[in-house]
């Protein structure tokens, strides 16, 4: 069955059409209108119409993967980089399209994709951890996204980094975009890694260059070691709460060479007694994994 997905983010609205084998057959990207809800909605509806036309099916299964939260009871959206906060996006789409489309948080869609034909195929519980500009995560148990009370994903990026970890490296306390201080993502995201590199005085603090220099340059290696230790602390928190069988890494930082080994080593040092550790793997479906997860959910008829 052909299906489609919208990957809805702060910079682009991407429409992606999949064939019956979940291979991408067409993609169309437009910039996300940031000025107001009306122009944003018009651009989104146009992308959905393009999917229906290209898929030659007016009732093509389509779901929306959104970099934000939708309250499951009220339908009200909350997003920091898309002009939808306070709006009922589902209702607005239903009025424009004449049908409702399922919507899912992008990190949840990512975890769902990797649990179904991805890096965590066959695992009972999967944490999809996206290390990008920020940090987000999604959770799948026995192939399903657990019911959400408020529409939250696994908001691990905004849990606090343990004081013990910051103290270990004498790192400063940084303020987060959410208004609190010392959130995990201030240290473990791509932005966080750059900030640690700047704090350590590296001339080129770009995350990918720090990572690639680490094999030859001691200062870069030290920065990567600190970042991996802090990311290990964050993963350890997730393990204590969710005890996932597999953790799948996505986002820009997931390209860092030997990342699963580095992070496994980091959580190994924190482990509680001989408690079994989760298996850490890199995503199989890359940047399109969230869209793929949403399309799979659309096909399964999941809201
Ligand atoms: Zn925060």
- Rounded to the nearest whole angstrom, what is the distance from the C-alpha of residue 216 to the centroid of ligand 1? 34
pLDDT above 80 (res 302): no
Going from the Cα of 178 to the center of ligand 1, the distance in angstroms, rounded, reads 4
Distance 153 CA to ligand 1 centre (A): 14
269 alpha carbon – ligand 1 mean position (Å): 26
- The mean pLDDT of 101-125, rounded to a whole number, is 97
Q: Give the CATH H-level superfamily of domain 3-108+293-299.
A: ATPase, nucleotide binding domain (3.30.420.40)
Question: Which of 147-151, 270-274, 278-282 is predicted least confidently?
Answer: 270-274
What is the share, in percent, of the chain residues with pLDDT greater than 70? 99
112: which 2 tokens? Answer: 């769902």
CA distance 18 to 91: 25
| pLDDT of the residue at 301 | 85
- Residue 91 pLDDT > 60, yes or no? yes
Phi, psi of 139 (to 5 degrees): -135, 135
% of the chain beyond a pLDDT of 90: 97
Ligand 1 centre and the CA of 263: distance in Å? 22
Pick the CATH number of 121-283 from 3.40.50.300, 3.30.420.40, 3.50.7.10, 3.40.50.2300: 3.30.420.40
Pairing label, strands 3-8, 62-66? parallel
Question: Ligand 1: distance of its center to the CA of 152 in Å?
Answer: 14
Listed in order, the ranges of the chain carrying CATH 3.30.420.40 are 3-108+293-299, 121-283
Those residues with Cβ within 8 angstroms of residue 138's Cβ, 6 or more apart along the chain or in another chain: 105, 106, 107, 108, 109, 110, 111, 112, 127, 128, 130, 145, 153, 154
């Amino acid at each position: 069955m052909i299906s489609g997905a919208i990957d809805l983010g702060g910079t682009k609205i991407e429409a992606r059409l999949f064939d019956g084998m979940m291979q991408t057959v067409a993609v169309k990207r437009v910039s996300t209108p940031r000025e107001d809800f009306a122009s944003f909605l018009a651009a989104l509806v146009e992308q959905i119409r393009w999917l229906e036309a290209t898929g030659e099916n007016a009732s093509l299964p389509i779901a929306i993967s959104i970099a934000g939260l939708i309250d499951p009871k009220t339908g009200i959206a909350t997003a920091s980089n898309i002009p939808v906060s306070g709006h009922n996006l589902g209702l607005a789409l239903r009025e424009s399209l004449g049908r409702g489309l399922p919507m899912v948080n992008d990190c949840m869609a990512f975890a769902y994709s990797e649990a179904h034909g991805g890096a965590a195929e066959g695992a009972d519980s999967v944490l999809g951890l996206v290390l990008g500009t920020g940090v987000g995560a999604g959770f799948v148990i026995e192939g399903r996204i657990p019911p959400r009370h408020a529409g939250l994903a696994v908001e691990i990026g905004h849990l606090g980094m343990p004081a013990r970890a910051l103290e270990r490296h004498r790192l400063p306390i940084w303020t987060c975009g959410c208004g609190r201080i010392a959130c995990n993502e201030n240290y473990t995201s791509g932005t966080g890694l750059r900030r640690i590199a700047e704090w350590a005085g590296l001339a080129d603090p770009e995350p990918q260059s720090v990572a690639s220099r680490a094999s030859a340059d001691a200062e870069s290696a030290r920065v990567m070691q600190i970042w991996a230790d802090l990311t290990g602390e964050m993963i350890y928190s997730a393990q204590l709460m969710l005890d996932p069988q597999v953790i799948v890494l996505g986002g820009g930082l997931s390209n860092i060479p030997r990342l699963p080994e580095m992070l496994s080593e980091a959580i190994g040092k924190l482990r509680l007694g001989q408690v079994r550790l989760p298996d850490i793997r890199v995503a199989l479906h890359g940047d399109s994994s969230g869209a793929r997860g949403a399309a799979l959910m659309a096909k399964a008829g999941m809201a």
